[in-house]
Amino acid sequence: MSLRPSIRKRPTTGDLAGLPPWLVRGERLLVEAVRSVRLLGSVVPRNAAQERARLVEAFEAGRIATPRWSYARSDHSALRKALARAAQRLEAEAHPVGLLYAERARELEIEAALASEAGTGVLGALARARFRSANPAKAGEATILARKWINEGREGAAEASSGEVILSDAPVPGSLLTRMREEVGRLTLPFAVVVQPSLAALAATGERHILVAAGRACTTDDVERTVMHEIEAHAIPRTRAAQARLAIFQIGTARGIDDQEGFALVLEERGGYLGPKRKRELAARHLAVEAMDGGARFHENVSALVTEHGLGVREAVLVAERAYRGGDGTTPGLGRERIYLEAFLRVGEHLAKRPTDEGLLTSGQISLAAIPTIAPFVRRARATEPPPAAGLGD
């Protein structure tokens, strides 16, 4: 097993090993952009919980229904212009690290546009630009895998769902909320665990919060998998990134967030959590986004998930909600789930060939493509060296 990395702390004075002085100004802008844009928060409808209940009731009654979501939209036009100028300036430096910042600035510019256009008919096209396939061949493999998993998962998911369940936000031992708080406390991570009723996922990790969905039925496997996913793949890398010598670990590289989701699924597979129920869930999300990109409307997607793939109505509505979130309810939405299985395949294959790169992936929101440039700024911990922060071990 590779040792966890110890990231050099950022110096308070002087240049960073010959890096361009302008990089410091670029860092400040990108840090502010990450904190301001908050893409996933921007595309969560304010009335998600109420609409979810209305849609489930309508579909269970055999009626056609369309989401009527509302959003707290922000105007990021000035920020987008600043990011575009910063990207040009950073590209002019012709320095490998400067180019990483430039690529992330371009990506953040698109994310700022997405946050500004939440609830409009143009969001779908912007989302496809941001979450487009990094490798067409791998995208094809991901679709094949999704079709395989959706078929394999029918019988197994039904058996898994028959076990004992507990509500996600129940204030009792063993619930997702309780277990997440226990693990955050055990590892002394700088995150507050809070309940978010609008959340479509079971949990999500932000800059300083881990959100847990309200009122969702979870099995023990659901709880332990979700805790591992959010803590190991998201919360710990974010904590390490805050200690890094370069802010790019905290800002994230272009595609870093995408590959982090793929790494999370690799961890799930390693931990034995990719059972039939979970595979069907991931496959359904992928296929729902593909159908959305192919022109399917929300109600058509829900119907296909139920009749063709065997999902229950509530589960199908949740899957469709994730695909279409950020949209106006009739046109395509964010569709971020299109990157999960592709990243899972890509990251899994990479780590099988280069297992020591896992330490780099857990240093922050780092993409596979950025590893050669980032590697010199990560110092491997020696076998006799204590971990970089208390409680951040395996």
Is 124 within a domain?
A: yes
Per the structure, the complete domain to which residue 163 belongs is given by 12-380
Average pLDDT for the chain = 88
**Residue 344 phi, psi (nearest 5):** -60, -45
Is 386 within a domain?
A: no
User: In the prediction, which pLDDT does 218 show?
Assistant: 96
User: In the prediction, which pLDDT does 159 show?
Assistant: 57
* pTM assigned to the model: 0.88
Is 5 within a domain?
A: no
Is 385 within a domain?
A: no
pLDDT class of 17 with cuts at 50, 70, 90: low
- pLDDT tens digit sequence for 317-357: 999 999 999 999 899 999 999 999 999 999 999 999 999 99
Least confident of 14-18, 217-221, 255-259, 335-339: 14-18
- More confident call, 235 vs 245: 235
Is 391 within a domain?
A: no
User: In the prediction, which pLDDT does 231 show?
Assistant: 97
Is 388 within a domain?
A: no
Any idea of the CA torsion for 314, 315, 317, 318, to the nearest 10 degrees?
Answer: 120
* Long-range own/partner contacts, residues 266-275 (CB < 8 A, 24 or more apart): 266/344, 266/347, 266/348, 266/351, 267/228, 267/229, 267/232, 267/233, 268/225, 268/228, 268/229, 269/344, 269/348, 271/225, 271/228, 273/221, 273/224, 273/225, 273/228, 275/156, 275/160, 275/221
pLDDT class of 16 with cuts at 50, 70, 90: low
pLDDT of residue 4 exceeding 70, the answer is: no
User: In the prediction, which pLDDT does 244 show?
Assistant: 84
- pLDDT tens digit sequence for 74-107: 899 999 999 999 999 988 877 888 899 999 999 9
Is 55 within a domain?
A: yes
Counted domains in the chain: 1
User: In the prediction, which pLDDT does 394 show?
Assistant: 37
329: left (phi over 0), alpha (psi -120 to 50) or beta: left
Measured CA to CA, the distance from residue 125 to residue 146 in angstroms comes to 23
User: In the prediction, which pLDDT does 13 show?
Assistant: 37
CB-based contact 148:285 (threshold 8 Å): no
Is 387 within a domain?
A: no
Token output for 335: 């569709």
Least confident of 11-25, 43-57, 275-289, 360-374: 11-25
Pairing of strands 192-196, 209-213: parallel
